[in-house]
Amino acid sequence: MPPKQPSADLPPLVMIRAFEAAGRTGSMRRAAEDIGVSHTVVSRHVRNLEYWLGCQLVRTGPRGVELTREGETLLAAASQGFSIIARAAGALRPGRQRGQLRIWCIQGLATRWLTPRLSELEAELDGVEIELRATDARPDLPRRQADIFIGFSALPHLPDGATALLRPRMFPVASPAWLERHGRPRDVADLAQMPLIHEGNHLQWTSWFEAAGVLPSAPLKGPRLSDASIGFDAALAGQGIALVNSLMAADEIDHGRLIEPFSTHVTLGSYYLLASPARSGDPIITAFKDWLVASITASAPE
């Protein structure tokens, strides 16, 4: 018997997958990171899907992807369908998941704090296979895309079900060589006039100055880099002043590779943890949470 042909009413699933990721993450770039392709491929799949359907699904602008009414309808259906498939797949492979922990973590924390502690974590979770992905994209936990997500958010905007981990002090740092060339800023107002290293846009520094009680009198200067980890490297390389916290910078400050020019007490949000609801009560998840809370607390006693 010849194989049945796909239904003519069903769009190609590769297009649906790209559209669902774009709609869920709100960004073609984050969707590309999510499904492991380039953002141009995601954009092309979404355009082809719109052509296939004969209607517009998304609008793109400075704030990322915005869904049309038709796009919202299709996203709801696609998300439900993928969730059903994910639950069925998870039910078919429970043995693998019992000995595995898939962690997605925002890039700066993953690179600077969690990666150097992987051997400690492996000893704590003896026999568990650990998979770590450094990304700012939040996984679809109900679909079991990951088991754990560690993110950062302003406190009023923590996701539902999130466990707050640490509200770190955020402070400026620069390399000794940079400070020797440019001079040490005297205070927060003086700092606003200097070249700053920005994470994606000016929002983080703008929020920091506002929390510090200073309204910059001129536009902020300095390069805009894609994430906090690259900004940290740029500060180490003497390219400007970056915003960091003690989880990321304690070792470099202790060894004099970075200097905090003056003391401030500003917080902008909290690290948080989300766990897959499918693994609620799993002893591996519980053990990881206990280890993470204890380790973060010990790393940032302030």
pLDDT digits (tens, 9 = 90+) for 22-32: 998 888 888 88
Average model confidence (pLDDT) for the chain? 87
Q: How would residue 259 be classed by pLDDT, with cut points 50, 70 and 90? A: very high
Q: pTM surpassing 0.85?
A: no
On whether residue 7 sits in a domain, the answer given is no
On whether residue 43 sits in a domain, the answer given is yes
What end-to-end distance do the CA atoms of the chain give, in Å?
70
Structural domain total, the chain: 3
Mean pLDDT, to the nearest integer, of 292-298? 90
Q: Give 134's contacts (C-beta < 8 A, 6+ positions apart).
A: 105, 106, 107, 110, 111, 115, 229
68 and 119 part of one domain: no
The pLDDT assigned to 35 comes to 83
On whether residue 135 sits in a domain, the answer given is yes
120 and 44 part of one domain: no
Q: How would residue 301 be classed by pLDDT, with cut points 50, 70 and 90? A: low
Pairing of strands 266-267, 129-134: unpaired
The pLDDT assigned to 2 comes to 46
Mean pLDDT, to the nearest integer, of 66-91? 84
What Rg do the C-alpha atoms of the chain give, in angstroms?
Answer: 22
Mean pLDDT, to the nearest integer, of 210-215? 91
142 and 274 part of one domain: yes
Residue 20 · residue 86 · CB < 8 Å = no
Mean pLDDT, to the nearest integer, of 182-201? 91
Is it the case that residue 94 has pLDDT exceeding 60?
no
Helix axes 246-254, 283-299, angle to 10 degrees: 40
252 and 135 part of one domain: no
On whether residue 70 sits in a domain, the answer given is yes
Q: How would residue 302 be classed by pLDDT, with cut points 50, 70 and 90? A: low
Q: Please say which residue of 61, 92, 123 terminates a domain.
A: 92
83 and 206 part of one domain: no
On whether residue 104 sits in a domain, the answer given is yes
Place of tokens 């492991």: 36
210 and 239 part of one domain: yes
Q: How would residue 300 be classed by pLDDT, with cut points 50, 70 and 90? A: confident
The pLDDT assigned to 176 comes to 96
149 and 174 part of one domain: no
Q: Please say which residue of 69, 92, 115 terminates a domain.
A: 92
Q: How would residue 3 be classed by pLDDT, with cut points 50, 70 and 90? A: very low
252 and 279 part of one domain: no
On whether residue 21 sits in a domain, the answer given is yes
Domain range holding 252? 169-267
Q: Give 283's contacts (C-beta < 8 A, 6+ positions apart).
A: none
Is it the case that residue 98 has pLDDT exceeding 90?
no
Q: How would residue 8 be classed by pLDDT, with cut points 50, 70 and 90? A: low
Q: Among 42-46, 51-55, 86-90, where is mean pLDDT lowest?
A: 86-90
CATH number, residue 138: 3.40.190.10
Encode pLDDT of 140-168 as tens digits.
Answer: 888 888 999 999 988 777 888 889 999 99
281 and 137 part of one domain: yes
CATH number, residue 84: 1.10.10.10
The more confidently predicted of residues 244 and 88 is 244
Distance CA 160, CA 173 (A): 33
Place of tokens 């993470």: 292
247 and 187 part of one domain: yes
Q: Please say which residue of 34, 58, 92 terminates a domain.
A: 92
The pLDDT assigned to 1 comes to 43
Is it the case that residue 91 has pLDDT exceeding 80?
no
19 and 33 part of one domain: yes
On whether residue 1 sits in a domain, the answer given is no
260 and 179 part of one domain: yes
On whether residue 74 sits in a domain, the answer given is yes
